[in-house]
Structure 1
Amino acid sequence: MNILNDRQPVPIYSLEPDEATANKQFKVYQYEGDLPNQAELLIPHRKDHYLFVFIRRAGTRQWIDMTPYVLQDNTIYFSAPGDLIVKEEFRQLWSTGIAFTKEFLAVQENAALSKLPIIQNPHRGHELRLSMVDIDFVEDMLGKIATEYRRPNEWQQRMLTAYLTVLLTYLSRLYTEQFDNKPLSTDKLLLTSYQAKIDEHFRALHQVSEYASLLNVSAGYLSEVVKAQSGKSAMTHIHERLVLEARRLLFHTQQPLKEIAFDLGFSDASYFNRFFKRETGITPAEYRASIREMYQ
């Protein structure tokens, strides 16, 4: 697996519109065996958009946030802006993918989509297993989306939103069945919103009170609900998100520890070093050396 050297920032790839549609916020991908030469995907990278791919047939492996996935037939794989991704190789692939940006979700008629579990992804999953019934449904919806995508007209945006709403709602039901079959209560929704805010602001905001202000609740109430719903303190969620991002960069890049510390909002590298060791039991340098050795 390739890693980035200490002079390479993690590249962020934008959604490239098709020439035929010129849609900069939504795109449909279809591969029937052959793949374009995309060598840039063989190095660790991020995307600035959401990506859902239905794999019909494959066999290669990719990494999403340090977790290796051998791509399985008839399976959904999904990622969000900020996830760190790297493919190990290119092989023939039979798949259909849909990609859309945060701006697409920000449009008023799409706003409800951003609250779906498959979008918020509280369990940080990236693989969704499908039954035969699920496969038929997903194939049908992707076919409708692909057909509408190829026919630009004044109704296209509304039709894409309608079909995508049905598809993502269906996948959200599968997501909750696979990862968590409990319905979301008001307190659970607050926990999910808290986790989403951490994802947005963890580099700059390191205090529970700062997130409480964003969520328009008191820090005491937020701490109480988060602890009751997750079994972990509100501060632990912030620390775990910082550790996740630190591990991403330590694993996939050669970025110096000082730069990683500053990127994560720490005032100096020694403070970051103590924080990481307190949270994981080893120093950042020790983690980098051990994880690299494990996957040689």
Structure 2
Amino acid sequence: MKLAYKNSKTSGECRMIVEELEFDRQFYGKDRKDKLLTIAWNKGGTQQVTIDGVEYEFPHNTILCLMVNQTFHFADASGIVAWQFNRAFYCIIDHDKEVSCVGFLFYGSQQLMFTTLNKTNSHKIDLLLQVFIEEFETVDNIQEDMLRMLLKRLIIIVTRLAKQQFLPLQDLPEQKLDIIRQFNLLVENHYKKEHSVKFYANQVNRSPKTLSNLFALYNEKSPLTVIQERIVLEAKRLLLFTDKSAKEIAFELGFEDAAYFSNFFKKNTETSPSDFRTKGLYS
């Protein structure tokens, strides 16, 4: 089942895909024009999901949030329920006070978060799913508002569960988490030009050392590691899914010297850009 709503005036779009045989996303291909965030619920058995060329185990009854620029494919899409929406329909950045998911659920520095649902939470989201279906099928002047309200409810539920499962709440008050979320969003917006921790620390009015100490409470990555991993991730995507040369990619990611970029990439991946592209194409 594929359900969709689109506002022709604002281009706001919300979609729901329910247990379709085919469902994937190719950001550097057929889906480039559709800037959609995705919330995927695996109602089927444990399966493999391939994201940006890397395979992960997608456990049964877990939820995974995926970014606009991620390319993904499910081994068994028939077990997946997914919600997709663009910024014009609901901007999580502009409405962060409502859902508190920016820099954590989306645009976060954590590894992929497979958020587990217990029986109660599964029932709650299943009920929400049924209401979504009703609202997609009810065409009237408040349809968009109703769908947006349901989407906010879904995001809030998933964000709460993810915080319970992935954050050391006893050590990380909400105020400190907000600084980390702000940092993560800044990295997402500026990683192609700004590679130093100092730039981001200044933006959040903290010293680089204070920022590093804060990240130590959150996870094992340092702020510099977060920045570098984001650069490497984008480099990998461009190498795998585009025909841009290593030199073009270097300049796009803020490196004036292509050789320096190549050394940076090899230091972080243990392979050169050209070898990575070759291995990726053959695999």
Give TM-score, length-normalised by structure 1: 0.73
Question: 1:265 — aligned with what?
Answer: 254
For residues 202 and 219 of structure 1, the distance between their equivalents in structure 2, rounded to whole angstroms, comes to 16
Amino acid at match of 2:115: L
Amino acid at match of 2:198: S
Establish whether residue 179 from structure 1 lines up as the match of residue 166 from structure 2. yes
For residues 61 and 262 of structure 2, the distance between their equivalents in structure 1, rounded to whole angstroms, comes to 43
The alignment's C-alpha RMSD in Å is 3.7
Amino acid at match of 2:263: R
Which stretch of structure 1 is more off in the superposition, 193-202 or 273-282?
273-282
Question: 1:10 — aligned with what?
Answer: none
Gaps of 5+ in 2: none
- Indicate the percent of aligned positions where both proteins have the same amino acid: 23
CA contact (8 A) 1:52 1:76 kept: yes
Establish whether residue 26 from structure 1 lines up as the match of residue 32 from structure 2. no
Cα displacement string for residues 43-94 of structure 1 (whole angstroms, at most 9, x for unaligned residues): 69665221113343478754213432466654433311222x14377x6725
Taking a change above 3 Å as real, the CA distance of residues 105 and 112 of structure 1, as seen in their structure-2 partners, is farther
For residues 275 and 232 of structure 1, the distance between their equivalents in structure 2, rounded to whole angstroms, comes to 18
Taking a change above 3 Å as real, the CA distance of residues 230 and 175 of structure 1, as seen in their structure-2 partners, is closer
Which stretch of structure 1 is more off in the superposition, 126-135 or 260-269?
126-135
CA contact (8 A) 1:227 1:234 kept: no
Of structures 1 and 2, the one with the larger relative CO (CA 8 A, separation 6+) is 1
Taking a change above 3 Å as real, the CA distance of residues 160 and 33 of structure 1, as seen in their structure-2 partners, is closer
For residues 109 and 40 of structure 1, the distance between their equivalents in structure 2, rounded to whole angstroms, comes to 26
CA contact (8 A) 1:28 1:98 kept: yes
Question: 2:66 — aligned with what?
Answer: 79
Cα displacement string for residues 13-62 of structure 1 (whole angstroms, at most 9, x for unaligned residues): xxx9647x6573232323455558x8968969665221113343478754
For residues 62 and 266 of structure 1, the distance between their equivalents in structure 2, rounded to whole angstroms, comes to 32
Establish whether residue 192 from structure 1 lines up as the match of residue 181 from structure 2. yes
Question: 1:148 — aligned with what?
Answer: 135
Establish whether residue 202 from structure 1 lines up as the match of residue 197 from structure 2. no
Question: 2:204 — aligned with what?
Answer: 215
Question: 2:91 — aligned with what?
Answer: 106
Cα displacement string for residues 136-170 of structure 1 (whole angstroms, at most 9, x for unaligned residues): 11111122123223334444344333322322222
Give TM-score, length-normalised by structure 2: 0.76
The alignment partner of 1:255 has SS state of: coil
For residues 193 and 109 of structure 1, the distance between their equivalents in structure 2, rounded to whole angstroms, comes to 13
Task: Name the count of aligned residue pairs.
Answer: 275
